[in-house]
Structure 1
């Protein structure tokens, strides 16, 4: 739960509108909630905005272990025994570090943070200052802002965010990007055998989001891992990365843990991934004629998954 300072490295693709909205909100002095499913570029977007502002970027991961002391800071117990409660023995948490430096505090998984910890943000959001026991008043420097992210579709381990938090924030919704944008992201982040194969990998991932047996589909991170796994498996097996069976095994490993099967379904994640893989990449070579092999393996046109009967 320590603070970290980051700079933008990964380009933000197809997020011009959201970038403009976030920059405008922060420039106006507002705090922001970025709401959307995983893998939609929320943290990448914020890193880019922080880099443009030349502001420090402090990341904190939201979970049940994020206590107010870990967020705000604490007195070093050993130094307190020697020197007492003096300001020089206080260890700033990410919140105070961001406030003092005029940086951006990014809280991931806002709806996983305990309510007691979130309450520590209320005065900071409204008054831009906080009173820390035995330390005193700490005011935020110019440029300070809080940006939080949350996935509204994952109910496991999450808690209700109070209306007091919502009343102090602006909200930017970030959905999945276009297929072309996700292909660009996947090709940038992982080795891909060919542009056509990359397009099919993305089509496979996108098909998981609309499958009737799935409650939650995969993000573009699934396509990134699919490309990396296929590359390494092909090297290990001494075959091409576009080998049908290499791709299937890579898809099973990359996607089966990311998707969530609907409660009413009796199918396994592996079964659904295999079905979608066959939809997008075609049947295995042993099941099709020689005339079809080049088109299926060599990267003919790719797009979304073909309709199932």
Structure 2
């Protein structure tokens, strides 16, 4: 697939998702970057901002096998992964696959379940496989997790462990729509009865797993120059030396930021990465990997503003 073909594919996906989702263009663009870069995405926002519906519309447009897990406090790891059940007719154990065996998994309200259950996703997100009773089972090569969560200040939630957060390429904050967008939402959906599905709104598949694999392979045509790679490393390392941060970003964050920058360049039709690609993605890549110091929390420091400061302080290549 050429970069021009990739750009056309992205435009088609945006057009299909827009049939169901009003506004949220930035969210859709970031999901496209995550899909091309083969990363996982965490969506955070208040209830009722169409996080789940966005994931469903995105999956429908991609033509991927969709799976959904509604995370609850009593959910167990076996409810996600599946289990080996003994078949008395054959006297053998048979694998009953859980909902994680799909191509695009919606982990809905992931912070409603305890960390023990959240950890069931770790191996799947990192290595695209799961281990049950000592036996390894491969997941589809296009496996992607889109997780949603309500803000941590809501009641009845469990903070995601750092190891879990580090598996996500992006953490995207879903905002409320502006007044004009909200008026269109009410006009379009206010008279509809019952649950809504993307297909009911005309969303159809414009891709499939093979097409998306070709799209990811097209990233090999994008050049990441040495000075841009060095810029990524210096930016990430600056998070580990900042006085207001007790935990900085990991080397995995640097690798993911570089890969996402290549995907953004490709979606823009360029075969080279520029510093603006890195700057545009630094906040969604880093915001969930950093921990403020107690003093910074008392002072009310904002992580997004802090990352913006680091971008300004880190000299970008010309």
SS at structure 2 position matched to 1:82: coil
Residue 123 of structure 1 deviates from its aligned partner by 1.3
Matches within 5 A, 1:93-112: 93-95=98-100, 97-98=101-102, 103-112=103-112
**Given the superposition, is the C-alpha separation of residues 128 and 84 from structure 1 closer, same or farther in structure 2, using an over 3 Å criterion?**
same
CA contact (8 A) 1:123 1:130 kept: yes
Give the aligned partner of residue 36 of structure 1.
45
Give the aligned partner of residue 258 of structure 2.
none
Give the aligned partner of residue 67 of structure 1.
76
Whole-Å separation in 2 of the counterparts to 1:12 and 1:75: 40
Give the aligned partner of residue 183 of structure 1.
183
What's the C-alpha RMSD, in Å, of the aligned pairs?
Answer: 2.2
CA contact (8 A) 1:107 1:147 kept: yes
**Given the superposition, is the C-alpha separation of residues 173 and 83 from structure 1 closer, same or farther in structure 2, using an over 3 Å criterion?**
same
Q: What do residues 4-51 of structure 1 show as CA deviations (whole Å, max 9, x unaligned)?
A: xxx979710001111110111122111110011111111121112112
Residue 75 of structure 1 deviates from its aligned partner by 2.8
Is 1:143 paired with 2:152?
no
**Given the superposition, is the C-alpha separation of residues 153 and 178 from structure 1 closer, same or farther in structure 2, using an over 3 Å criterion?**
farther
Provide structure 1 residue ranges, at least 5 long, that are not aligned to the other structure. Answer: 1-6, 193-309
Give the aligned partner of residue 303 of structure 1.
none
Is 1:82 paired with 2:89?
yes
Q: Which residue of 46, 56, 70 corresponds with 2:65?
A: 56
Is 1:12 paired with 2:21?
yes
Number of residue-to-residue matches in the alignment: 176
SS at structure 1 position matched to 2:89: helix
Residue 83 of structure 1 deviates from its aligned partner by 2.6
Whole-Å separation in 1 of the counterparts to 2:123 and 2:67: 19
Matches within 5 A, 1:276-295: none
Give the aligned partner of residue 167 of structure 1.
166
Provide structure 2 residue ranges, at least 5 long, that are not aligned to the other structure. Answer: 1-15, 193-318
Matches within 5 A, 1:226-245: none
Residue 82 of structure 1 deviates from its aligned partner by 3.2
CA contact (8 A) 1:75 1:85 kept: no
Whole-Å separation in 2 of the counterparts to 1:44 and 1:9: 12
SS at structure 2 position matched to 1:43: helix
CA contact (8 A) 2:23 2:177 kept: yes
Q: What do residues 80-125 of structure 1 show as CA deviations (whole Å, max 9, x unaligned)?
A: x333444xx3211111x21xxxx11111111111211111111111
Q: Which residue of 73, 92, 97 corresponds with 1:92?
A: 97
Whole-Å separation in 2 of the counterparts to 1:150 and 1:66: 16
CA contact (8 A) 1:30 1:145 kept: yes
Moved over 4 A (4+): 7-10
Q: With CA pairs under 8 Å and 6+ residues apart, which has the higher RCO, 1 or 2?
A: 2
Give the aligned partner of residue 226 of structure 1.
none
Whole-Å separation in 2 of the counterparts to 1:43 and 1:184: 19
**Given the superposition, is the C-alpha separation of residues 82 and 144 from structure 1 closer, same or farther in structure 2, using an over 3 Å criterion?**
same
CA contact (8 A) 1:37 1:153 kept: no
Residue 153 of structure 1 deviates from its aligned partner by 4.9
Whole-Å separation in 2 of the counterparts to 1:154 and 1:70: 27
Give the aligned partner of residue 56 of structure 2.
47
CA contact (8 A) 1:36 1:173 kept: yes
Rg bigger for which structure?
1
CA contact (8 A) 1:75 1:91 kept: yes
Q: What do residues 127-165 of structure 1 show as CA deviations (whole Å, max 9, x unaligned)?
A: 11121116x211122211011100115532111210001
Give the aligned partner of residue 129 of structure 1.
129
